[in-house]
Amino acid sequence: MNNIRIGIVGYGNLGRGVEVGLNNHPDMELVGIFSRRDPETLDTTSPTYALDDILDFTDKIDVLILCGGSKTDIPTQGPALAEHFNTVDAYDTHALIPEYYKKMDKIAQENENVAVISTGWDPGLFSMNRLIQEAILPTGDTYTFWGRGVSQGHSDAVRGVEGVKHAVQYTVPDPLMIDQIQEGKKVPYEATEAHTREVYVVLEEDADPVAVEKAIKEMPDYFEDYRTSVSMISEEEFNHEHQDMPHGGAVIRQGQTSEEEMSIIDYSLTLESNPEFTAAVNIAYARAAYKLAGEKQFGAHTVLDIPPYYLSSKSKEELIAELL
């Protein structure tokens, strides 16, 4: 069998995660990284190309993994590229996913391509587990926890506050609440009560720490409803202690199989590198996209509809013998 030929669009944290992650998959090869930046300037030994030249590669790439941001990149790049390529993305603007699905489905169908959208872990693996947990245990409650990990969105929001030079925000779940849920106790759950937010800030010279802390803690949507701690740290400490991108979380279902008996399903992730893990999920779904395209199952697909064995490099028969 020929290798699956992969292209990466966008060379930020996620793109670098896909680049390094492909080393784990001997049945796949990286054709190139496509960027809006001057390809000569990318710090990599992989082949790099200008995104404007990507249509020269329609016969050389089986699946494109779209590694741009969900705010502005994916909503335009997804539809444009699904016209010419099979694509995988980690589009994560939850409220707009149904609309994006419809758009990608139409374009991919019309052009006989496959578009796997919104992979990663939330949306993605967490969504799949919520579905399976609820289908098996329909009478019960699902609890989701995020962290401990860096939230890019919240870190960006803090960096927007006047007087902030650098900042990072960690989302921290309540470990006691998780313990209680794992023990089968019914817990009143609100995301705002179940998580705290830890902010580390390097101030601009002459900034007022009291004003900065107040501006952060009172920021609506992001911090106002949460218990938030703000710590002012030195640039040296920031560079030394806060450069990693760990994350993780859990989707836990408590369900009654009968009035007397409870079952608990707990799906937990502990990730030293959030972008590398998200990339690892994208890569497995790129294999699925390749197989789906081979079977002419054109259109948009998600983690909710893709048969698990499409993720594997092994045949269905091997998997039944080895894993079932």
Using alpha carbons, select from 98, 110, 138 the residue that is nearest to residue 258. Answer: 138
**Residues β-bridged to residue 9:** 34, 66
**By CB under 8 A, residue 315 contacts its own copies:** no
Which residue lies nearer to its own copies by CB, 128 or 172? 128
**Residues β-bridged to residue 141:** 254
Pairwise CA distance, residues 222 & 152, whole Å: 12
Which residue lies nearer to its own copies by CB, 223 or 267? 267
| Binding-site member from 51, 132, 191, 219 for its own copies (CB under 8 A) | 132
**By CB under 8 A, residue 265 contacts its own copies:** yes
Minimum Å distance from CB 27 to its own copies? 10
**By CB under 8 A, residue 134 contacts its own copies:** yes
**By CB under 8 A, residue 211 contacts its own copies:** no
Stretch 271-290 residues interacting with its own copies (CB under 8 A): 271-273, 276-277, 279-281, 283-284, 287
- Binning the chain into helix, strand and coil, the percentages to the nearest 5 are 40, 25, 35
Query: How many C-beta atoms lie closer than 10 Å to residue 80's C-beta?
Result: 13
Pairwise CA distance, residues 271 & 306, whole Å: 24
Minimum Å distance from CB 198 to its own copies? 21
DSSP count for the chain of H helices, then E strands: 11, 14
Of the listed pieces 50-58, 210-218, 228-236, 298-306, which binds its own copies according to CB under 8 A? 298-306
Which residue lies nearer to its own copies by CB, 158 or 303? 303
Stretch 168-197 residues interacting with its own copies (CB under 8 A): 182, 184
Which residue lies nearer to its own copies by CB, 54 or 286? 286
- Residues 64-103, one symbol each (x = binds its own copies by CB under 8 A, - = not), give ------------------------------x--xx--x--
Q: Is the dihedral of CA 36, 38, 43, 44 positive or negative?
A: positive
For 187, residues 6+ apart whose C-beta sits below 8 A from its C-beta are 143, 177, 180, 181
**By CB under 8 A, residue 123 contacts its own copies:** yes
Residue 221: half-sphere exposure toward Cβ, Cα within 13 Å: 4
Minimum Å distance from CB 147 to its own copies? 15
Minimum Å distance from CB 102 to its own copies? 9
Binding site for its own copies (CB under 8 A): 17, 20-21, 23-25, 94, 97-98, 101, 118, 123, 125, 127-128, 130-132, 134-139, 182, 184, 255-258, 260-273, 276-277, 279-281, 283-284, 287, 302-309, 311-313, 316-317, 319-321, 323-324
